[in-house]
Amino acid sequence: MINPRLCLALLLSAFAIVPVHAQTPTAKPAAATVQPPEASYNPVADPKAVVVVGHARFTVLTPQMIRMEWAADGKFEDRPSFVFLNRLLPVPEFTQKKDGQRVTLKTADVELTYNADSAGDGKFTAENLTATIQLNGKAVTWHPGMDDSGNLQGTTRTLDGAKGNQTKEPIDPGLVSRDGWVVVDDSKRPLFDSDNFTFAQGEKSEWPWIVLRTDTDRQDWYFFGYGHEYKNALGDFVKVAGRIPIPPRFAFGIWWSRYWAYSDQELDNLVSGFHENDLPLDVLVIDMDWHLNKEQLLAMGEKDQSGHELGWSGYTWNPLLFPDPKAFLDGIHAQGIKATLNVHPASGVHPWEKAYPEMAKAMGIDPATRKWVAFDITNKKFARNYMDLLHHPLERQGINFWWLDWQQEMKTGTPGVSPTWWLNYVHFTDQQMEGKRPLLFHRWGGLGNHRYQIGFSGDTISVWDSLAFQPWFTATAANVGYAYWSHDIGGHMPGVVDPEIITRWIEFGAFSPILRTHTTKNPDSERRVWAYPEPYADIMRETMQHREQMQPYIYTEARRTYDTGVAFLHPLYYDWPEAEQAYNVKDEYVFGSQMLVAPITSPVDPVTQLSTRKVWIPQGEWIERSSGKHFAGPADATRSFDIRETPVYVKAGAIVPGQPPMQHADQRPVDPLILNVFPLADKQTSEYKLYSDGSDSEAYKRGAFSWTKISAAQSGDELTLTIAPVEGSYPGMTTERAYELRLPYDWPPETVTANGQSLTFTAKGSPKIGWRYEGNTLSTVITTVRYSVHTPVKIVVKRAGGSLASRSQLDGFAGAIARLQLAYDTLNALENFRTRATDPVIDAWETGDRLSYRPEKAKAEIARFPKVYADALASVKALVAKADTDAGDLDKKRDEYHRSAQDEERMKNFRNYLKRAENAIEDGGVK
């Protein structure tokens, strides 16, 4: 039966051409004008957006999105589906032209034509339905059955067993396509029985549940005609399908995970190891051995009545490993660490579980029968008891969220409902009813799961190909709104990896949504970064510390993901859709609004110890973070990076907020707030808005948050940074803080003022209020007093006349210093052969250090640098030439009093060491 709200559309259909203008809907206020859609879903569209022709109904949702329905019985569906929850949007302008059973709808972007008479019952076919859009000035027409060959793909349920791009399950289609159109078939997708997802009554709230569609022959399609406006497509998708929620802040920190039968003492020692090695830790993932295991259950004479593997499921702590779980978790929480447990729920609840008697009674089973309670997650009664009796008691002990490691059947007791999808829904919404900031950790369940994150990508094989696949895989998931994949950093199996690959994997993890190391149950697998040899341990430590310090930036970008529907880690083609390279360079991606990342996913050259890769530089001016070198795009660049470096390209003028070192995300307020401001051109301005909220609930959806506007402007040799008073508030908000302004790759200042007060030069490395200069990266570091967040702050940096005009002399200086250090370290490794860094190498390398002490000498030092750099290179070339003539005398040169175990390797590769130093200096590129 047609909904009576459609009567106006039926009346309008009597006219030949009817213009329809956007206005306030009559059913409910449009969600977008009141609160975010998840706060007030309405699956019933405004009647003014609806056109009915015979057994077909068309709903113009946006100028580029049209719902297309056909039903054999003429009865259309207005309930929310698993994907499409909110159809009440402001009505876009469109016209309709009717001629009998033929109708043409025109929006600003799409022309849809349907002829109900052209085929018997009017069911949509290539003969009776078309939609035309304009793509780069050309008309593109879609019809049913057309192959979407340009689809840019979405994501897949799991990477279990994947080696590189060889996934066991196919990648689902995405919501964006180079063809300019995508059609989502919602015809068979289950529905919800309610549109109220506010959970305003807390744990007493009604729980929207599954209802199946009727068996009537029907089509329910959504046409996305966005051309190459990919961001707009995703922005409109979250208006109708719900937004991508913001994970709690701690989720963006450091996670420890390992498949291992840990005891509480081992985990306590592990946490101590993080602290002793100055490593942050935010989340402790406790894998499946926390509960009673197979051997214990066999000894008890038990068997799994469900037919699954014994000991795979469990809800009762193993008392041998965890004699006092609550005390253990209290200790973890006291150190600011969150805890999650792994569960495989497919076996249901068996008689050995502590919660079994209560669960059995609740499900109508006499506990005396010892009959297991079968897993039946689509049964609301079971789901309520599953959460209330199995999970909530463990949460009260201190478990913060759940790792749902579903690996069993792909069906439930309700046809068409995936256990993965529905488990995600049940666990996430249960936390909403508890008033928490929801978080779960599970595999992708299908379209619509963007509302329930984060994702566990599964058990990959620990090889370079797997690492190389993950940047593309992670970015491409944005095409279905799945913003937060968490990968097994280091790979899962067989688990043993060499220091280089784990270092590169962690470097990628630092610029991915979630950084979680993991491995399989192999005693030789190692993920404790301090257990690896130097320099790898040091590099991994610094990388994890840097990740924790990026929290303000990443959290702000997560808010933008929520607001826009565009994942902060996304493919290049979102921003440069007409650039062919944006599609071809698959392992490079956008990371937030300020930077691009192109991870190293292959080994270093054995001689140079550098990894070389091609990088695409998009339109605009970009700065390579590791070298300070400027690039103007669009351009292709071939660049080399040592093991310490991740290819990150920052927009010229970018403002990137950060925080001081912390042991965990919430250790203390962000004070000082660190602001990295990259060089601006003359007359250039830039802006960044920093986001913050309480992170412990969904109050951000109701206005409990703050924004701080930060702007920078370059005028000649003067840079002005302005921090505006905070806008908004939330409980626990920081009321005052200091600022640390970092200005890399530029000349030192002559004067610095903060709100009119002069700041003086301080000694190298000093934390005092004032400014200092870090010569190796040409960074001015300014530390202010503390200000109220409601007080505007203006910092003015004046450099010597002509500094801006001569900035090109500094281009790549930081990279050259890094290469000199590599040469210095390489040569000094040959000390036992009476070979060491030459004086010219030391002289050139110390240039940055001298600048730190005497920044007023910068002009002279930089003018001198090309000459001393050339001398350094010449001195190393001389060592190489001498090695060719003295090849047989190395053993005689060995210092008999200071020999080491590495001498044989160094003697064998002596010339390669020298060539490595030579190549390093050549790669520095100073002319």
Instruction: Tell me how crowded residue 853 is: count the other CB atoms within 10 A of its CB.
Output: 12
**Average pLDDT over every residue of 23-40:** 38
Within a domain: 260: no
Global pTM reads: 0.94
Please say which residue of 392, 414, 438 terminates a domain: 438
pLDDT at 15: 31
Using 50, 70 and 90 to split pLDDT, how confident is the model at 908? Answer: confident
The backbone region for 331, taken as left when phi is positive above 0, alpha when psi lies in -120 to 50, beta otherwise, is: alpha
Mean pLDDT for 475-501 is 96
Dump pLDDT digits (tens) for 348-392: 999 999 999 999 999 999 999 999 999 999 999 999 999 999 999
Give 861-879 pLDDT, tens digit per residue: 999 999 999 999 999 999 9
Q: Residue 97 has what pLDDT?
A: 95
Q: Are residues 69 and 202 in the same domain?
A: yes
Query: What domain count does the chain have?
Result: 4
Distance CA 712, CA 722 (A): 6
**Range with the lowest mean pLDDT among 14-23, 73-82, 383-392, 669-678?**
14-23
Q: In terms of domains, do 803 and 831 share one? A: no
Non-local (6+) Cβ contacts of 163 within 8 A are 460, 461, 463, 465, 466
> How many angstroms separate the CA atoms of 216 and 200, rounded?
35
Taking residues 645-673, report their average pLDDT.
97
pLDDT of residue 898: 57
d(CA 829, CA 266): 37
- Domain region containing 833: 813-924
Q: pLDDT digit string (tens) for 750-806?
A: 999 999 999 999 987 777 899 999 999 999 999 999 999 999 999 999 999 999 999
Is 197 in the same domain as 308?
A: no
Please write the tens of the pLDDT for every residue from 817-873: 999 999 999 999 988 888 999 999 999 999 999 999 999 999 999 999 999 999 999
pLDDT at residue 28, rounded to an integer? 35
What are φ and ψ of residue 514, in 5° steps? -135, 135
pLDDT score of 35 more than 60: no
Same domain for 708 and 843, yes or no, is no
Residues in the chain: 927
Structure tokens at 481: 């709104």
Same domain, 803 and 844: no
Spatial CA neighbour of 581 closest among 532, 619, 529: 619
Final residue of a structural domain among 751, 778, 809: 809
Q: Are residues 879 and 783 in the same domain?
A: no
**242 falls in which pLDDT band (50, 70, 90)?**
very high
Q: How confident is the model at residue 891 (pLDDT cuts 50, 70, 90)?
A: low
Indicate whether 98 and 227 sit together in one domain: yes
Find all residues with CB under 8 Å of 315, minimum gap 6, and list them. 291, 343, 349, 353, 354, 355, 390, 391, 394
Q: If we measure between CA atoms, which residue out of 567, 589, 594 comes closest to residue 576?
A: 589
CA 722 – CA 736 distance, rounded (Å) = 16
β-pairing, 440-442 vs 401-404, is parallel
Domain harbouring 762, CATH code: 2.60.40.1180
**Domain for residue 522, yes or no?**
no
Q: What is the pLDDT of residue 241?
A: 97
**What is the percent of the chain with per-residue pLDDT over 70, rounded to a whole number?**
94
Is residue 446 in a domain?
no
Q: What local confidence, expressed as pLDDT, does residue 29 receive?
A: 31
Summarize pLDDT for 401-410 with one digit per residue, the tens.
999 998 778 8
Long-range contacts from 580-589, C-beta under 8 angstroms, 24+ separation = 581/616, 581/634, 581/636, 582/616, 582/618, 583/152, 583/178, 584/616, 585/614, 585/615, 585/616, 586/471, 586/472, 587/468, 587/471, 587/472, 588/471, 588/615, 588/616, 589/471, 589/474, 589/475
Listed residue (662, 677, 654) closest to 781, CA to CA = 677
Asked if the model's pLDDT at residue 4 lies above 50, the reply is no
Instruction: Say whether both 165 and 203 belong to one domain.
Output: yes
Helix (H, G, I), strand (E, B) or coil at 300: coil
Is 293 inside a domain boundary? Answer: yes
For residue 422, pLDDT over 60 is answered with yes
Q: What is the pLDDT of residue 556?
A: 98
pLDDT at position 13 is 36
Helix, strand, coil percent content, the chain, rounded in steps of 5? 30, 25, 45
Whether residue 319 is found in the same domain as residue 216? no
Structural domain includes residue 909: yes
Of 809, 824, 842, the residue at which a domain comes to its end is: 809
Q: Does residue 123 have a pLDDT over 90? A: yes
φ and ψ at residue 154, rounded to 5 degrees:
-120, -105
| CATH number of the domain residue 187 falls in | 2.60.40
Determine the Cα–Cα distance for residues 561 and 831; give it in Å rounded to an integer: 53
Q: Please say if the pLDDT value at position 889 is more than 90.
A: no
pLDDT of residue 900: 67
**Average pLDDT, rounded, for the chain:** 93
Give yes or no for residue 8 having a pLDDT over 60. no
Alpha carbons 31 and 88: distance in angstroms, whole number: 7
User: Is the separation of the CB atoms in 730 and 693 below 8 Å?
Assistant: yes
| Helical segments of 511-575, H only | 536-549, 551-564
What pLDDT, on the 0 to 100 scale, is given for residue 767?
77
Does residue 271 lie in a domain region? no
Task: Give the residues across from 220 on adjacent strands.
Answer: 69
How do residues 674-721 score in pLDDT, each as one tens digit? 999 999 999 999 999 999 999 999 999 999 999 999 999 999 999 999
Whether the CB-CB separation of 322 and 268 falls below 8 Å is answered with: no
Same domain, 300 and 399: yes
Q: Which regions of 156-290 does DSSP assign to beta strands (E)?
A: 182-185, 191-192, 210-211, 218-224, 254-258, 283-286
Cα–Cα distances in angstroms (integers) from residue 177 to residues 40, 65, 124, 417, 702, in the given order: 30, 14, 22, 27, 34
| pLDDT of 569 strictly over 70 | yes
pLDDT (tens digit per residue) in 602-638:
999 999 999 999 999 999 999 999 999 999 999 999 9
**Strand 673-677 relative to strand 739-743: parallel, antiparallel, unpaired?**
parallel
Nearest to 428 by CA among 383, 381, 476: 383
Tell whether 424 and 288 lie within a shared domain: yes
Does residue 734 sit within a domain?
Answer: yes
804 and 824 inside one domain: no
Please write the tens of the pLDDT for every residue from 173-229.
999 999 999 999 999 999 999 999 999 999 999 999 999 999 899 999 999 999 999
Average the pLDDT over each of 131-140, 162-171, 573-582, 738-747 and give the range with the smallest value: 162-171
Q: Does residue 324 fall inside a structural domain?
A: yes
